[in-house]
Each structure stands twice: as structure tokens, then as C-alpha cells.
């Protein structure tokens, strides 16, 4: 950065610092940076312990490369990266993201025309479902561009107060997510570390842990998570939504262990209320597992058509529909099985 430069673009438009945290991203980092580097006024790379060529590749694009000792805290690493920025706005990117030609042009126009009062720009995060991420929709808005220094503004003609809510703009920019592999194993291991230390997860992380389990967790992952979620189910300070998440996880783990008392104890907590697709699927799996296909079909039907998913959409779509196909095949009713197979194929095509 030139001496005395205050981060403003003298030619008009905004200036942007790209801030990234990376670790062992040699396969994808250049692809990401090639798609955004010329749109940035500064590139900051924070490495959390790479053992491959990541830092060597990063050095082709910037000399602002910093090391950060990993402490199992993504927020700490991102805050450190943000602390190194000098421009008006900060763009937070991951190495497995790409901007295609159309969205590069949208980004360039945004940079030229963004109103100064905008403090956060949301961009659509696309291509999520293909890689089994924890998100329920293929395209969702995420905050990606942040004003580095916030300007406090008074509002209201009387009883004036400082505006606390940020000014957010939903852009039409779509970021393509192209991960090389799933991050589920890494994330679940991190959740176990946090809960093993006695950390009380926030409502957001509580939801993400449950969702990660139902999207990509193995049987062993559920069993290892059971104690934490069992404590959550007993925690009177947890919200009804968190209670639902906890009961769904514990019910799955108890079913895997063959503990029917614990299973029905946590199922009944939810069925006594409105229920949810996830717990209906657990009941379907339970009855299918003991060969009661008629009862299993009832619960799979409830999951697909009578309740809604609280954690993952698959519990209201693919999972119960596949269960209905299996049950009606076992019951010797091929026409019913065919009807639900068609519904299953339609659900899969809709997601794709």
C-alpha cells in the first residue's frame, strides 16, 4: 500500500481488500484467485498451517501472506485476516469459490456503483447441494462484502438514536462453490473438540452440528454426539428449536444402539407436539428395522406429507420417499411402490 494512501479509490468506486484463510489449498487456490484477483485492490492470505504448496501459490498474487496458529476457531482466524485490511470494503472468500465471467462483470459493476451507505453486501452462494453441504438450498444469500469501518448515523427526528442495524444490500452476484471434497469430517471433529471442552454451543452452532450430522454424519458420529445432545435435551435454557434438534440426534443414536427406552423417550417429546419430518423418519426406520412395514410406511408418509423438516430438507423428501418405496415393495404392492418411486425421482430432479 502506498504511503499515505487512505484506502479510497481516487478514480471513483470502492476499494476492496480480499481476505482469505487457507490451509492445504494448492489444488484450488489459483483457480479462486484467478477469478477475483484483478477485482481487488489488496489481497491478504492468512495460512493456518499448510504443509503443501499453498503459500507458494499465494505468493504469485500477493506479498501479504501471514501465518496464524490454528486454535480450532475459524472466527479468530478470519478476525485476524480482517485486521490486516486497509481498503474501504473487505471481501471474504474461501479457496473453493469461483466467480464465472458473468458474475465477474456483475462484481465489477457493483464495485463501480455501490452506494457508500451500504455496509454489507450479500451474494448468492451457489452449487451447494451437489457436494453434500449442510445447507438446504442450492442457492442462498450469504454476507460476503463488508464495510471495514462503520459510520455511525443518528436517526429519528425526536428521541433520536444511533442506527445499530447494518445497511444490507442483496446483490445479484452468484459465487460458484466447487469444493474438492466434503468438509464434514473436519467440521464434526471440531464440534467434538468444542463440546468435549465443555463449550456450550450457541443456537447457531447447535443447529449446524445437528445439520452436519444428518447430512453427512456416520453412525459413529451420531454415537459420539449423543451425550452432548442428551444434555441439550435436558437443558431448560435451550429453545424449542434446539430441543427438536437434540431429540432428533439422540433418537437416532439410541436407535443405532438398540436402546428403545431412550429412543421413545426422545421421540415422544416431539410427537406430543407438532413433530417434524426428521423424527417421523426415525420412527419409520425403527419399524422398518423390526419388519413392521405397514407401521413404517405410516411414519414415512407423515415425514413426507404431514410434517415439515426442521433440520434437513432430505428428511421431508428423499429419505421418507425412499422408505415408502422399500416398504411397499416388501408389502407386495408394486403400484404403490412405483408411485412413490416416481415422487422420489421428481424430488431428486428438483434439487438437481
Name the residue ranges covered by the structural domains of the chain. Answer: 16-177, 184-351
Is residue 134's pLDDT more than 50? Answer: no
Pair type for strands 140-147 and 120-126: antiparallel
pLDDT at residue 4, rounded to an integer: 39
At 261-305, the pLDDT tens digits run 999 999 999 998 889 999 999 999 999 999 999 999 999 999 999
Distance from C-alpha of 303 to C-alpha of 320, rounded to nearest angstrom? 6
CB 242 within 8 A of CB 236: no
16-177: CATH topology is Spore Coat Polysaccharide Biosynthesis Protein SpsA; Chain A (3.90.550)
| CB burial string 31-64: b at 16+ within 10 A, e below | ebbebbeeebbbbbbbbbebeeebbebbeebbeb
Distance from C-alpha of 99 to C-alpha of 114, rounded to nearest angstrom? 18
CB 226 within 8 A of CB 253: yes
Compute the residue count for the chain. 352
Helical residues (DSSP H) of the chain, grouped into ranges:
29-36, 54-58, 74-83, 101-113, 184-196, 203-216, 219-234, 240-257, 260-271, 277-289, 293-301, 318-330, 334-351
User: What are the grid coordinates assigned to 185, written together?
Assistant: 469430517
User: What are the grid coordinates assigned to 255, written together?
Assistant: 436407535
Residues ≥6 apart with Cβ < 8 Å to 264: none
- Please give the sequence-ordered ranges of beta strands (E in DSSP) within 79-190, or none if there are none: 89-92, 97-98, 120-126, 140-147, 154-155, 161-162, 168-177
| Full DSSP string of 223-237 | HHHHHHHHHHHH-TT
pLDDT at residue 123, rounded to an integer: 96
pLDDT at residue 127, rounded to an integer: 65
pLDDT at residue 194, rounded to an integer: 92
CB 72 within 8 A of CB 193: yes
Of all residues in the chain, what percent carry a pLDDT higher than 90? 81
Q: Can you give the pTM of this predicted structure?
A: 0.75
pLDDT at residue 162, rounded to an integer: 87
Distance from C-alpha of 172 to C-alpha of 242, rounded to nearest angstrom? 33
pLDDT at residue 126, rounded to an integer: 83
pLDDT at residue 3, rounded to an integer: 36
CB 316 within 8 A of CB 347: no
| Terminal C-alpha separation, the chain | 44
For the segment 189-218, the average pLDDT, to the nearest whole number, is 94
CB 54 within 8 A of CB 68: no
Is residue 5's pLDDT more than 60? Answer: no
184-351: CATH topology is 1.25.40
The CA distances from residue 241 to 103, 203, 222, 229, in Å, are: 36, 9, 19, 13
Distance from C-alpha of 306 to C-alpha of 281, rounded to nearest angstrom? 12
**What single-letter DSSP state applies at residue 114?**
-
Amino acid at each position: 500500500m502506498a504511503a499515505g494512501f487512505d484506502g479510497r479509490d481516487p478514480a471513483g468506486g470502492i476499494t476492496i481488500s480480499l481476505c482469505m484463510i487457507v490451509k492445504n489449498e494448492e489444488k484450488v487456490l489459483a483457480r479462486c484467485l484467478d477469478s477475483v484477483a484483478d477485482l481487488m485492490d489488496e489481497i491478504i492470505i492468512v495460512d493456518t498451517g499448510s504443509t503443501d504448496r499453498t503459500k507458494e501459490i499465494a505468493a504469485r498474487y500477493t506479498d501479504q501472506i501471514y501465518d496464524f496458529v490454528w486454535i480450532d476457531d475459524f472466527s479468530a482466524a478470519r478476525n485476524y485476516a480482517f485486521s490486516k485490511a486497509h481498503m474501504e470494503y473487505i471481501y471474504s472468500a474461501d479457496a473453493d469459490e469461483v466467480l464465472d465471467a458473468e458474475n465477474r462483470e456483475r462484481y465489477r459493476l457493483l464495485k463501480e456503483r455501490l452506494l457508500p451507505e451500504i455496509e454489507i453486501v450479500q451474494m448468492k452462494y451457489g452449487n451447494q447441494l451437489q457436494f453434500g453441504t449442510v445447507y438446504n438450498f442450492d442457492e442462498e444469500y450469504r454476507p460476503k462484502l463488508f464495510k471495514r469501518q462503520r459510520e455511525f448515523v443518528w436517526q429519528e427526528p425526536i428521541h433520536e438514536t444511533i442506527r445499530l442495524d447494518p445497511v444490507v444490500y442483496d446483490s445479484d452476484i452468484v459465487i460458484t462453490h466447487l469444493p474438492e471434497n466434503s468438509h464434514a469430517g473436519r467440521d464434526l471433529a471440531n464440534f467434538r473438540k468444542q463440546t468435549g471442552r465443555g463449550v456450550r454451543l450457541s443456537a447457531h452452532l447447535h443447529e449446524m452440528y445437528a445439520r452436519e450430522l444428518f447430512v453427512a454424519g456416520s453412525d459413529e458420529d451420531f454415537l459420539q454426539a449423543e451425550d452432548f445432545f442428551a444434555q441439550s435435551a435436558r437443558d431448560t435454557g435451550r429453545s424449542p428449536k434446539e430441543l427438536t434438534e437434540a431429540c432428533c440426534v439422540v433418537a437416532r443414536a439410541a436407535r443405532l444402539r438398540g436402546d428403545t427406552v431412550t429412543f421413545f423417550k426422545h421421540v415422544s417429546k416431539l410427537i406430543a407436539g407438532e413433530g417434524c419430518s426428521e423424527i417421523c423418519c426415525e420412527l419409520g426406520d425403527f419399524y422398518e428395522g423390526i419388519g413392521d412395514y405397514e407401521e413404517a410406511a405410516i411414519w414415512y408418509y407423515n415425514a413426507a406429507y404431514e410434517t415439515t423438516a426442521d433440520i434437513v430438507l432430505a428428511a421431508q423428501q428423499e429419505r421418507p420417499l425412499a422408505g415408502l418405496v422399500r416398504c411397499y415393495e416388501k408389502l407386495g404392492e408394486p403400484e404403490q411402490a412405483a408411485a412413490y418411486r416416481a415422487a422420489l425421482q421428481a424430488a431428486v430432479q428438483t434439487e438437481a
